[in-house]
Amino acid sequence: MNIDICKLELQNIDLKPRDSEKIRGYLGNKYIENDILHNHNQDKFIYRYPMVQYKIIDKTAMIIGIGKASNLVANIGIIEDKILIDDKLINIYEKSILRLNQNYGCKDDYIEYKFITPWIALNQNNISKLTLNSPTNPMCFIPFIITSFSFKFIQQCIFSFTV
């Protein structure tokens, strides 16, 4: 299966890792009609795989759009030249937009992954499973969570492509 991906980098603005949620809040409020940016419907949370992800890696802001969200992220990259963080308007003088059509599926060889940004693996559903199934060794439940997360990603991509 091929998936469209857009990576927008906002370069040369010195940001902290916690600023990613502030970028999400700023863009989510500015483009409130596009719930794919913030996963909220008025005051309720929309439970789905986040098709727009916000990261700060090496002080560089990255906004990643997956599937149908890739066009939206590319357009934001074209339109936006300022961003508001902590009530401070920051000019964006340098940015890059990378569009990919990535093949996603099974591989014959192992692929090694590394988490370079924090990932919260637990939610309301699997925290109870964690404490019931592995009270002495909670880490043994993490591979199951990662596998479930991968399946949710695939489901969301297939659903967003067939609609």
pLDDT at 162: 44
Mean pLDDT of 106-135: 69
Decide which of 30 and 144 is more confident: 30
* DSSP structure string for 91-114: E--EEEEEEEEEE-S--SS-----
Which stretches of 31-102 are DSSP H helices? 69-79
Give the integer Cα–Cα distance in Å for 122 and 124.
7
CA-CA-CA-CA torsion sign (156, 158, 161, 163): negative
pLDDT band at 19 (very low <50, low <70, confident <90, very high): very high
pLDDT digit string, tens, across residues 24-36: 999 998 998 888 8
110-122 mean pLDDT: 72
pLDDT for the residue numbered 30: 93
Say how far apart CA 162 and CA 57 lie, in whole Å.
Answer: 32
Tokens encoding 66: 């997956």
pLDDT for the residue numbered 138: 61
In this model, does residue 139 exceed pLDDT 60? Answer: yes
SS3 state at 150: helix
Question: What pLDDT is attached to residue 130?
Answer: 62
pLDDT greater than 70 at residue 4: yes
pTM for the whole structure: 0.78
Confidence band, pLDDT 50/70/90 cuts, at residue 69: very high
